[in-house]
Amino acid sequence: SNAVGRDFRKEPALPEFGDILKRAKLLGEELNKSSIKELVVGESTPGGTTTAQAVLWALGYDARTSSASPENPQSLKERVIAEAFSRVGLEKGQLRDNPLEALRQFGDPMMATVIGLSLGFRKDIVLAGGTQMLAVSALLKALGEALDRFMIATTKWVINDRSATFIETAREIGIITYSADLDFSKSEFKGLRDYEKGYVKEGVGAGGATWLAVKAGFSPEEVSEKVEELYRRLMSMKG
């Protein structure tokens, strides 16, 4: 689907979420027929931590999502969410029994896609991302899915972000988590060292990619070294 999320302060974010769900579920069902036993799904969504927090609040979780910025703009997120809740006439937690309405009003295409995949693929699923995957987990739980076949794979930077509530909210939802212990503190590149200062924190399924590497027998240190090597190669191409 080529649908994009709308500004949920002004209108429902995903009026066509059913089409996204249906297509993603069909893909999940096709993958389910294969020999794949565990599906790892990553994400990258502009503004996705705000839509995630709105959905979590609508479902009754007192959560704070992380941010790609070292300074989490939590007051801005809360103001935007308050405007959206006011538009719908909602209080926090009022959609705990209507998760699809929470998705329609406040979600984003990534959430609808991952939920559809999860409904179609019936084996183990690793949700590779940060606090946005908490919203996906909460929606799946509210839809009646057993969470024992799901895990969130994230990074230490998300876990250590005290401006967010990753561990607390994951525990409240009842989803297990894996944290990739990558370390770029000694990197020769500022762009990688900045991860240790709170920039980005996750990024396109970094936790899930590390989870797969560790399962294949590599250590987090080796993954960090490989990232450094690839970064060096990219910088040399740029030059």
Give me 54's structure tokens: 């709105």
Q: What pLDDT is recorded for position 237?
A: 87
- Asked whether residue 12 is domain-assigned, the answer is no
Where is 3: in which H helix or E strand?
none
Spatial separation of the C-alpha atoms in residues 12 and 18, rounded to whole Å: 13
pLDDT at 61 > cutoff 90 = yes
Q: 64-92 pLDDT, tens per residue?
A: 999 988 899 999 999 999 999 999 999 99
For residue 179, list its beta bridge partners.
Answer: 154
CATH number of the domain bearing residue 189: 3.40.50.10210
- Asked whether residue 3 is domain-assigned, the answer is no
Q: 213-227 pLDDT, tens per residue?
A: 999 999 999 999 999
- Asked whether residue 207 is domain-assigned, the answer is yes
Q: 160-188 pLDDT, tens per residue?
A: 999 999 999 999 999 999 999 999 999 99
Give me 76's structure tokens: 């801005």
Burial of 10 (0-12, 13-18, 19+ CB in 10 A): exposed
- Asked whether residue 58 is domain-assigned, the answer is no
Number of domains the chain is built from:
1
* Average pLDDT value over all residues in the chain: 95
- Asked whether residue 164 is domain-assigned, the answer is yes
Range of the domain at 41: 17-46+109-238
Spatial separation of the C-alpha atoms in residues 121 and 36, rounded to whole Å: 10
Q: 28-37 pLDDT, tens per residue?
A: 999 999 999 9
- Asked whether residue 208 is domain-assigned, the answer is yes
Segment 84-89 long-range contacts (CB within 8 Å, at least 24 positions apart): 84/8, 84/9, 84/54, 85/54, 85/57, 85/58, 87/8, 87/9, 87/10
- Asked whether residue 156 is domain-assigned, the answer is yes
Nearest partner of 133 among 53, 61, 60, 188, judged by Cα: 53
- Higher pLDDT residue, 202 or 89? 89
Those residues with Cβ within 8 angstroms of residue 193's Cβ, 6 or more apart along the chain or in another chain: 184, 185, 187
- Asked whether residue 69 is domain-assigned, the answer is no
